[in-house]
Structure 1
């Protein structure tokens, strides 16, 4: 149901501006909010705050960008109270679906509880465990975290949820989409039943409703529907839906980013690869852009978000992981580079602009194969644009609708490149965990290779060195010298194998050692590792260029069999003692041949 009396009208707001003090907020929190310029609460805060402060379970449903964080954060800070030295276990827990949202909620709670001295800690994956464990040992009042990292800390017995008095499930529908509801239920079972539970979500699918019925105690359903700030089509956001070609979208985007009055801009892509590609192409065209997607490390994602908030970059290219959790009021344009999957994703994307009653511009590109999907989104949201207008980078209405100056090209002029860029923001070492993340191409270490020439190291060939006997045979005489330190260093290195085969000097040395061994007759009983030489008992011929004490005789070549016909295959069978003139001879079987061999061996004394 709605709050008591329904949402206040515009006349009521003008007649009496509601403040946080009027809703029962303690002076310390109200003063902290007023210091930051947050004086008048939104509709969801007006309806949910009195219920939450009174201790009731609440289901809050409102669009993104309506200040739901303060609707539960102020009540949690007020219930937890001021920190105590002997109290180290958390009294409040906020479960969020994404890392970016965890950071955003932590910042808002820290701001509101600044004068109370509340200790707020955010725990999420991608960061090192040690700082989070140390903070838990020192004591915290409120923990904000993602389900996976919360369960890991509980399993390691660093986090105790046995004294949590207030639980908040933020963006429950997003946790459902990411498959976190089973983990959320495991977390709820670790919290005492005598608690206050608040659930906030932009939409209420059946699974979220079932979760609320199972774990909330007689909750009050609050739904904010302020006609001035909220509606399905969001009239404060000017929406443009165009049919664009895949190869021309980057050109349209480059011209769109040069529109008059454009501030911070968010570009949403469907995949991580497309996100990285768009950001790199915008950088090549002179725009200060940064990317946020799952293949980047946590430090890189936080660096991009800080640079975007600080204005060092004005274009943030992100996947849907950043559609929630980025609370920046100065975003003027949102571009759906890829068509959203459904109407919920579309609403959350364009909700990044036009926040807090401001106006904004949303542009959606729809490719030809995405038209069926867009028609479903259009029918669900009643936008009235079933057939988007075909648009190219040279279309006149593109310049007229967005206020792009005539003659604008797809490259930002050098005179307008005033942003510091992503490199101006410091990259924090967060002690990333998990699998290795992708890095910039110029940051990747290059593979070191050793160059060789004729089987020798390039350093040895580059520096003049006195040639050895083997080197003289391989590369010719060298008569110059080199410093002893360099010689020792090169000589200590192991011989390298090249594509031409083994090192000739090593082979020559091995063959020289074999020359000093006595020749052995082939019929003598020797082991294989002792026998060296050819079939005639002499050493084999060394490689070309070797100069030994005496030349080795050449090994005789075997008799060549030349068939009369090149297509004839000749097979020489072993001599089994078959008479040449006996055509009726039958070869003995295998046992008979074995017995004859044994008898012959006995006769010969073997």
Structure 2
């Protein structure tokens, strides 16, 4: 229905259910109408319009961008159409180089498209065809400002095509601002009049949050189960669930916004290649992702609205195949589910209360009665996520981001400083510290040990005597040097400073160092006669040390 209108150059609003081939609905007209080098050689065109792209396809997510690009490359292989995917998370340089060489079609996400256009690398002045895939999402509040900026850079005379499975009335009204006499095409099978795909068997259960993982583990052991997609609302739930399923023996991988682009593409490649058979994802993978062999879709958390529900369960039952969709609704999500059920006219106004031990749960989904919460070792045949290599994308906007989403180390700054979390001080200080430890191995502390300095009720904590024994030679040398100094006013403060550096309580140090200091002063004849006569130097607010520590200190000085 779309091809004749789109090939004629008219504007089109295309609406059809998920899995019915909307990508080629706009892809074939785009590939047919662009001018390629093969057309020039065959005499069908006088010359290429230039190196600037002739068609622009805007998509909301990176995963959908990769998928649409691959579909267009496959369909346009015979005509040698150059298609470039442009999205965030990848390095700029390869995309800039490809744009310099020239492309016919650019598929991209709004953010990276605007970045490259603003830097002058992407010229949109020659675009004759604009496609908004998943148009309701593209024109929603979050993407509308970016879409308007992109449209402002395009020529006024162009063909515009919008495609999506859901197209609310207000979105159609908004879309007409960018279109000229558009033709609205709604395609559906004659025997499929409902809002959802008829080939998808839907099951809805009211489940307890603490029993959901047990229920999911049993669903993953149902008869005839192939690839499975599990959807969560939050990134943390997605990551925790994937880890929990892996611990139970399932080959699971996660796709969510906190992962780097390399990890996200690694998980999707492993899922497509069959190394992983359970993909736990947020709604970032709910739109447009087309993977062959997905037999089950599980809504681990209730979707936000009816549109999200339709796109989620549309990952199965694609291209005429059958599938199973299971939705687990918490008690607090019952009002939200009631709105979804009413909007889609589904027969589940009050989902049945269900647990992992309920008999109807096993019967509805054809789960063997012997299934438990752990996958038997004999059934663990998948290679797992680790078997899929991570592609080096030259990712931008992150440094070593892993599953937690943030870099674990600090970045190196000029001057030897290490910034960020976990960063140390200056490089010179670090080198000096390392040299001191190498010169005096006896003063080096064991890994994991900590230095104790506090005094409790006048009693030194354990380890003070040992510290005094180790540092006694250093303390004596410091005291002798102070005795030979020309001024005697700073002796007490200097000794306390030396004691603090050695890790000894000030009270222990003063009495341990008095006698050596007096002896050194008497021999040198320095201004320390009062100390040599037996008078102790004035001390400020010192605490009395215990007898045990005093005996140990006296022995060390002897």
Aligned equivalent of 2:312, options 329, 332, 349: 349
Does the C-alpha gap of structure 1 residues 495 and 295 become closer, same or farther in structure 2, counting only changes over 3 Å?
A: same
* Residue in structure 1 matched with residue 177 of structure 2 by the alignment: 214
Matches of 1:367 and 1:448 in 2, distance apart?
40
Matches of 2:242 and 2:540 in 1, distance apart?
70
* Residue in structure 1 matched with residue 397 of structure 2 by the alignment: 434
Does the C-alpha gap of structure 1 residues 111 and 493 become closer, same or farther in structure 2, counting only changes over 3 Å?
A: farther
* Residue in structure 2 matched with residue 159 of structure 1 by the alignment: 122
Aligned equivalent of 2:264, options 296, 301, 313: 301
Give secondary structure in 2 for the equivalent of 1:345.
Answer: helix
* Residue in structure 2 matched with residue 170 of structure 1 by the alignment: 133
| 1:379 CA drift (Å) | 1.1
Give the alignment of 1:88-99 within 5 angstroms. Answer: 88-99=51-62
Aligned equivalent of 1:515, options 461, 480, 483: 483
* Residue in structure 1 matched with residue 97 of structure 2 by the alignment: 134
Q: Which runs of 5+ in 1 are unaligned?
A: 1-46, 451-458, 461-485, 521-529, 561-606
Is residue 400–residue 408 contact of structure 2 (8 Å, CA) maintained in 1?
Answer: no
Larger radius of gyration: 1
For residues 527-547 of structure 1, give each alpha carbon's deviation from its aligned partner in whole angstroms, at most 9, with x where no partner exists.
xxx74459xxxx999546554
Matches of 2:443 and 2:487 in 1, distance apart?
31
Does the C-alpha gap of structure 1 residues 557 and 146 become closer, same or farther in structure 2, counting only changes over 3 Å?
A: closer
RMSD, aligned CA: 3.3
| 1:231 CA drift (Å) | 2.9
Does the C-alpha gap of structure 1 residues 55 and 448 become closer, same or farther in structure 2, counting only changes over 3 Å?
A: closer
* Residue in structure 2 matched with residue 5 of structure 1 by the alignment: none
Is residue 53–residue 124 contact of structure 2 (8 Å, CA) maintained in 1?
Answer: yes
More displaced stretch, 424-433 vs 203-212: 203-212
| 1:440 CA drift (Å) | 4.3
Matches of 1:558 and 1:281 in 2, distance apart?
61
Matches of 1:218 and 1:425 in 2, distance apart?
48
| 1:518 CA drift (Å) | 3.7
Give the alignment of 1:230-269 within 5 angstroms. Answer: 231-269=194-232
Is residue 480–residue 520 contact of structure 2 (8 Å, CA) maintained in 1?
Answer: no
1:76 equivalent to 2:46? Answer no
Give the alignment of 1:402-481 within 5 angstroms. Answer: 402-435=365-398, 438-440=401-403
Is residue 259–residue 403 contact of structure 2 (8 Å, CA) maintained in 1?
Answer: no
Is residue 267–residue 316 contact of structure 1 (8 Å, CA) maintained in 2?
Answer: yes
Matches of 2:8 and 2:292 in 1, distance apart?
31
Does the C-alpha gap of structure 1 residues 495 and 417 become closer, same or farther in structure 2, counting only changes over 3 Å?
A: closer
1:311 equivalent to 2:289? Answer no
Give secondary structure in 1 for the equivalent of 2:107.
Answer: strand
1:554 equivalent to 2:536? Answer yes
More displaced stretch, 499-508 vs 169-178: 499-508
* Residue in structure 2 matched with residue 383 of structure 1 by the alignment: 346
Matches of 1:86 and 1:390 in 2, distance apart?
63
* Residue in structure 2 matched with residue 397 of structure 1 by the alignment: 360
| 1:236 CA drift (Å) | 0.7
Does the C-alpha gap of structure 1 residues 222 and 441 become closer, same or farther in structure 2, counting only changes over 3 Å?
A: closer
Does the C-alpha gap of structure 1 residues 405 and 514 become closer, same or farther in structure 2, counting only changes over 3 Å?
A: same
| 1:360 CA drift (Å) | 0.4
* Residue in structure 2 matched with residue 589 of structure 1 by the alignment: none
1:62 equivalent to 2:16? Answer yes
Give secondary structure in 1 for the equivalent of 2:520.
Answer: coil
Does the C-alpha gap of structure 1 residues 114 and 371 become closer, same or farther in structure 2, counting only changes over 3 Å?
A: same
Q: Which runs of 5+ in 2 are unaligned?
A: 41-47, 411-420, 425-432, 455-466, 499-505, 522-530, 543-558
| 1:490 CA drift (Å) | 3.7
For normalisation by structure 1, the TM-score amounts to 0.71
Matches of 1:101 and 1:79 in 2, distance apart?
23
* Residue in structure 1 matched with residue 84 of structure 2 by the alignment: 121
* Residue in structure 2 matched with residue 340 of structure 1 by the alignment: 303
Is residue 132–residue 138 contact of structure 2 (8 Å, CA) maintained in 1?
Answer: no
Of Structure 1 and Structure 2, the greater helix share is in 2
* Residue in structure 2 matched with residue 150 of structure 1 by the alignment: 113
| 1:100 CA drift (Å) | 0.8
How many residues were matched structurally? 468
* Residue in structure 2 matched with residue 373 of structure 1 by the alignment: 336
Give the alignment of 1:482-493 within 5 angstroms. Answer: 489-491=438-440
Aligned equivalent of 1:500, options 441, 446, 453: 453
Does the C-alpha gap of structure 1 residues 449 and 195 become closer, same or farther in structure 2, counting only changes over 3 Å?
A: closer
Is residue 176–residue 207 contact of structure 1 (8 Å, CA) maintained in 2?
Answer: no
Give secondary structure in 1 for the equivalent of 2:279.
Answer: strand
Give secondary structure in 2 for the equivalent of 1:270.
Answer: coil
Is residue 258–residue 403 contact of structure 2 (8 Å, CA) maintained in 1?
Answer: no
For normalisation by structure 2, the TM-score amounts to 0.77
